Amino acid sequence: MADEELKKAFQDLQFKTNETRGLIAQGEITKKVNAQKQRMSELSAESIAEVPDCHTVYRSVGRMFLLSTKESEISRHNQEALEYKQKVDAFTKQKEYLQRGLEEAERNLREMIQARRA
């Protein structure tokens, strides 16, 4: 009976470990992509800021171009960069949460093994 409980606990821990590692790996990729997009938005805002005020600025939407103001494009790119930064921060918090949950499961399993030995 005790062996079956330990076996099931080990299987659950292994499943949770694999699932958590997969989520963390997937999140790292997403984090990297969002960090790149954030950097591109910041660079775009910087390059638009260098454009003289007398030049017209167009925004590409699909296959068409919309006339836009320089200030609105800079603010749009800054807003995009902020959104990407928030996504990166959210993943960092999620990663910490997943790692704490995994450590908790491992600790519970160790306690169960020690309780069975006693």
Q: What is the pLDDT of residues 65-114, one digit of tens each?
A: 999 999 999 999 999 999 999 999 999 999 999 989 888 888 887 887 78
Contact 49, 74 (CB under 8 A): yes
In this predicted structure, the answer to whether residue 18 has a pLDDT above a threshold of 90 is no
Instruction: Quickly list DSSP for 49-114.
Output: HTS-TTS-EEEEETTEEEEE-HHHHHHHHHHHHHHHHHHHHHHHHHHHHHHHHHHHHHHHHHHHHH
CATH topology of domain 2-117: Helix Hairpins (1.10.287)
Q: CA-CA distance, 35 to 21, in Å (whole number)?
A: 21
Q: Any idea where the domains of the chain sit in the sequence?
A: 2-117
In this predicted structure, the answer to whether residue 2 has a pLDDT above a threshold of 70 is no
